Amino acid sequence: METVEQRIQALRKELEHHNYLYYVQSQPVISDYDYDMMLKELEKLEQENPQFADVNSPTQRVGSDLNVEFQQVKHQSPMLSLDNTYNEGELKDFDARVAKELTSDYRYVCELKYDGLSVSLTYKNGALLRAVTRGDGVQGDDVTANVRTIKSVPLKLRGTDYPDEFEIRGEILMPHSTFAKLNAEREESGDQPFANPRNAASGTLKMQNSAQVAKRPLDCCLYFLLGGQLPTDSHYENLEKAREWGFKIPLYAEICNNVDDISRFIAKWAVERLNLPFDTDGIVIKVDNLAQQRQLGMRSKSPRWAVAYKFPAERVETLLESISYQVGRTGAVTPVANLSPVRLAGTTVKRATLHNADQIQALDLRIGDTVFVEKGGEIIPKVIGVNVGKRPADSQPTLFITHCPECGATLQRNEGEAAWVCPNDDCPPQVKGRIEHFISRKAMNIDSLGEGKVELLYDKGLIRNVADLYQLTAQQLIGLEKMITAEDGTVRKIGFGQRSAENMLAGIEASKKVPFERVLYAIGIRFVGETIAQKLARNFKTIETLEKASHEDMIAVDEIGERIAQSVIDFFAHPENIALVEHLKQAGLQFVVDESAFQAKSDALKDKTFVVSGVFTIPRDDIKKMIEENGGKNSGSISSKTDYLLAGDKMGPEKLKKATSLGVKMISEEEFYSLLSK
């Protein structure tokens, strides 16, 4: 039987995993409700068992969206999260706590809870000074350049009666129309579509090129004014005033005098929110009077004067008719639930992802079951349980397939991994998936060749690998066509006329100028993403050197670990991959680093090895680039060969300990600039 300590440790491990998926990968797999219930269970167990306290527990932190590519800025006052409630009883408890603390009459303001990316805008003398994300609540990323592209954010305020300097907080959103258009473009170019508008908004706001941000129209709804010279002591009236200054203050907020008023507001928006052009996931209830807010005060992670009511995810029952299996470009086999069509959150759902064999086993899913379906993040349908009371008496447990549904190869499962994998590299979905990855925007960026056309060329026998693209001719293409049926049943024709064929061939020809690091990413070595491809290219310079590199050579490169090193070695151990690279060389692709792009500006740091750790006044990647541009070398770990540990704020204690034990010199950011100047 599981002990209390074991349960606490299990909850901590699972919550940290979901924190990583949500805040770092932007790919949540459970609902906010399920997460909150786990967190509340952990909080209760820790309170009842203080001997198991841990400062690193998920209950002692807030999530973070900090990005090392942006400069971090400390908030003047913390951007805390809100406690969540899910029923009227919990709202009454909140109201009772407020009534107990306050000695005078009070009222609430009810607002919609927008499902986007929290942001703080600072204005000085009527002009936008700075825009910072929530980050970890204490400091966030400076995204001013990107926020300036959002048309609903005023760069200059209207009128003259605003404070000299103040802060206004709100949420960056991606409207449904923008999200649908963006995902259609990503699918057409072979990129992975975003899971939901929140992830898309977050990914857009963190782009390095503000011109690209401007091409994805974001919106910004603002809901909280802070500063020392605010117009009134009423939160609601301050927002009304901010609307006069030119801010987009949503018109949905209402004054509520008691819990009954709050309940009516919730009931109204539980239905009407589905008609809004953006996502919401609840209601925020705030004490209106600012003096009373200060009287109620703060907890360590949340204010006592506000609470969030989270709408329960809409859940429906439907029949599990069958389970089909999809094969991805890496060979991973994903099960998909085929459902009796059912309306859910405004759309008709026929299919839902089941992730992997472990989920099927954990839910004990069986064909013919009546299953519960929710939409994760209001977008992706997922099966979350079974109504066992409606299970047919003759149902049988589901056995995960043993052979690839496309090519018949025996599936394999690597130790420590959840997915079953088809080992046949010639399996059609894998071949087409690799080609789609190769032509995608971040790889070779070949225009006019989306997913449907890759399938058309494959089905006609014109391409079997990425090198075949460079042998295509207009004569082969013109006149090819195919009818395809979308999931919604609509049928459309794809194919090539004179112009589309010429455009595609021009895109293929232009791809020959794509630099080596992107070509390396495009050929699809497992675990080699954009950043890793760039590091490998810059360190090994040519594809020939990389092919011959040993395991030790690779792990000596910053951020290249055991798994990546072995994956690269395995890739080049296959003769067919060597042959593919040779064919791409003959086609004229770039397999040598353009040294001019990485040419050193000086030899001020020649032969010096640095480990960079902590937070700096500029992005850490910029500092690493400066080291390389001036003849130095970056390393991810401290050893006896390290010359300097460049230490910023919040540097990891383990690095400091190891540097001290090895006698490695530690320098500050200012001392680093001094080294450069010499």
Comparing CA positions, the residue from 29, 92, 28, 118 lying closest to residue 309 is 92
With a CB cutoff of 8 Å and minimum separation 6, the contacts of 248 are 152, 153, 219, 220, 221, 222
Residue type, position 536, single letter: L
CA-derived radius of gyration, the chain = 28
Q: Judge whether 658 counts as a catalytic residue.
A: no
Helix axes 620-629, 669-677, angle to 10 degrees: 20
With a CB cutoff of 8 Å and minimum separation 6, the contacts of 239 are 222, 223, 224, 225, 249, 253
3-state SS, residue 231: coil
H or E element, residue 508: helix 498-510
3-state SS, residue 643: coil
Q: How far apart are CA 427 and CA 330, in angstroms?
A: 10
Neighbouring CB atoms inside 10 A of 611's CB total: 23
Contact by Cβ (8 Å): 589, 519: yes
3-state SS, residue 411: coil
Comparing CA positions, the residue from 193, 138, 150, 192 lying closest to residue 175 is 150
Q: How far apart are CA 218 and CA 204, in angstroms?
A: 9
Q: Which residue of the set 100, 113, 268, 541 is catalytic?
A: 113
With a CB cutoff of 8 Å and minimum separation 6, the contacts of 20 are none
Q: How far apart are CA 17 and CA 21, in angstroms?
A: 6
Tallying the residues shown for the chain, one arrives at 678
Q: How far apart are CA 18 and CA 445, in angstroms?
A: 33
Which residue in this structure is represented by tokens 């609903």? 152
Q: How far apart are CA 471 and CA 509, in angstroms?
A: 11
With a CB cutoff of 8 Å and minimum separation 6, the contacts of 407 are 422, 424, 426, 427, 428
Q: How far apart are CA 669 and CA 671, in angstroms?
A: 5
Q: How many CA atoms lie within 13 A of 591 on its CB side?
A: 17
Q: How far apart are CA 79 and CA 621, in angstroms?
A: 26
Query: Residue 33 corresponds to which tokens in the numbers above?
Result: 């409700």
CA angle 611, 612, 616 (to 5 degrees): 165
Query: Residue 461 corresponds to which tokens in the numbers above?
Result: 């026998």
With a CB cutoff of 8 Å and minimum separation 6, the contacts of 438 are 444, 446, 466, 469, 522, 523, 524
Q: What are phi and psi of 170, to 5 degrees?
A: -170, -155
Comparing CA positions, the residue from 311, 297, 307 lying closest to residue 345 is 311
Query: Residue 489 corresponds to which tokens in the numbers above?
Result: 């049943």
Catalytically active residues are 113
